[in-house]
Structure 1
Amino acid sequence: MWQVYNLLSERDSVTASTIRKVLTESETRSSSSNRVRTTLTIQIETVDFDAQACVIRVKGRNIQENPYVKIGAYHAIDLETNREVSLFKLCWDSISIERLKCACDPAQTVDLAVVQMQEGLANICLITKSMTSLKTRIEIKIPQKQKGNTAQRENALKKFYKNIVDDVLKHLNFEALRVLIIGSPDFVDQLYEYLCETAMKTKSQILHDAKRKFVPCKISTGFKRSLKEILQDPAVLSKLSDTKVGAEVHSIKSFNQMLSTDPSRAFYGYKHVSVAAEALAVDTLLVTDNLFRSKDISERRRYVSLVDSVRSSGGKIRIFSSMHFSGEELAKFTGIAAILRFPMAEPKEEDEDNKEVVLEKVAPI
């Protein structure tokens, strides 16, 4: 559904089944309303995505004859999983076609998950190339360490760990999962020991096989905001190389490092990156997907053209999801950045009126 959301743009049209409230008038001129199911084709004006409910709502004007809805009348259609929809675009650009192929690839499954925990609180998240999804939140009151309540505290902790293990087994597909990161300020070892103990007691082959996929990580808090700490941990990054998320995480880290150590090879912002692309200097282009959802068609085409240009010159393309940690990081740099093959001087604007960009000549090394 996230892929579909990214395919939908203003002025596209969709055909889908929907429900419309219809007013009917009887011979006695009394009116009544009925809800009827019909198929509509609307031209999109707005698109909203509810990630938790996994529903896309498109709103626009009806553009085809319908017995219940006049041409030009507004209607909103909810697009849901397992419900057919047809999408018509004036132009299927390279980004849309690539996204469509990605969405149709059955290998695109979740292979990275995170358990973030602190005393009495745990979040279980699934991390894909598209987004970070909170699957469940566990909260249990744990008694404080006091003389005489040791047994009560131990029982509460065991119940806490059991709930985590139960939810991990419920929400994670260990056949597809390659890495399960367990992050906590204090309780990583205790949870790992409990997982091993549970695997032995229950003779759970799933847990036994999954032990090699666990990666412990020290974090400051069990709240979701600590995800940034987890995905920047060197030990975790080495394990992410085999996951689908790894390439994006490594790219944004490499860009940040380059910006700190050699800023002449790290550009960001459309104007600077496009100048580097014209010079065939872009080795890796980093861009957030929300730039391709701009309501300004000319702006969308500008970014698509830039991606095509970099790809044609042999550069690597990394498209980041705006609902992913790495995409949020890239958004701080205007949503577009590049790691260059060789150093370039920063473009200068000589004439503020015509925005003419002039490049200083720097010999590549």
Structure 2
Amino acid sequence: MDGLRTRWPNSEVLFASKSLPAVGMYRLAQDEGLSVDIAGGGELRLALAAGVDPGRIHFHGNAKTDAELRMALDAGIDTIIVDNDDEIDRLERLLERPQKLLLRVIPGVDAKTHASQATGGANSKFGLPIDQAERAIARMRSHRLMRFDGVHLHIGSQILGTGQFAEAVEKISAVGTFPTYDVGGGLGVAYTYDEQAPGVDDYLDAIVDAARANLPADARLLIEPGRSMVARAGITLYRATTVKRTGRTFVAVDGGLADQMDIALTQQRYEAILADRLLEPWTETVQLVGRQCESGDLLVDGAAMPPARIGDLVAMAATGAYAYTMSNNYNGALKPAIVFVADGEARLVTRRETYDDLLATHAPAMAAALV
């Protein structure tokens, strides 16, 4: 936050909460002076439950419902990022008082990342191309309750080259001159020993240099870091439950696809260690696998570690972003707890899901069975 403000004083940093939508994280973001970017009614409820000031919440999404927009308007959030003409239709019906709006624009930048994480290319499902954006802007400006404030872009996630961020800023400047430009997030991190990721200073330099060259000097500049803030802050801990040496050596743990879905979705690679035997020689290369009934439930392909034993503590690094977000109940798995650690002190912020929690939404069927 200070790094951006030093470079561009009229600026704001929003935590992209889809990367870790937990009440404890929302509260931490607010305490650290960040605003919050939400992308659905559930994230809005979590943010409000954490005590986040509604005046610091921005609402994204390409398919907001009437109910979600009503929630946001009733809460008095700061900004709605409009994605499409249908959303303008909804706001025309729902608005009863002035509301600040940004418009998401497709910058036409094909980010160098996994296809599922690229959001700024010409075929993106998010936002409007420039010609349609101009018409939508004119429409919002003509409405008595719509306070059109500027444009928003996002080119993707896990991006390891800063040049693409600068390119997006340059392209968005062609839409027009506005009070606010939200240039999104997407800065990648190093997940494995052989990956190289830009530093935060490199990222900010690229963004701000492009803003100085292309945007009004008095414009408000917003960025939305998520992954780059929380990924390396998180570690997932497992227990080894099975060690099997057949054609290959398989070390299976008490988690898997249900709490590391992005491995299957984006082929994201990770590193893992035996945390309680770290100083022993790493003499074996194993397939670290999960307990879900899929051959694709492969956590690490070729993890070097000491010969594993049942009960070993397995740590996967840099899992702070999207692991909890995408956690699910595959094979009846229970969603994990989240523990914050600072200055040697640990505190539980999200408890582990229980089987009673798992059954709660099935109460109608269980009640019917008793009749």
Classify the TM-score, shorter chain.
under 0.3
Would you tell me which structure has more strand in proportion to its own residues? 1
Q: Which one has the largest radius of gyration?
A: 1
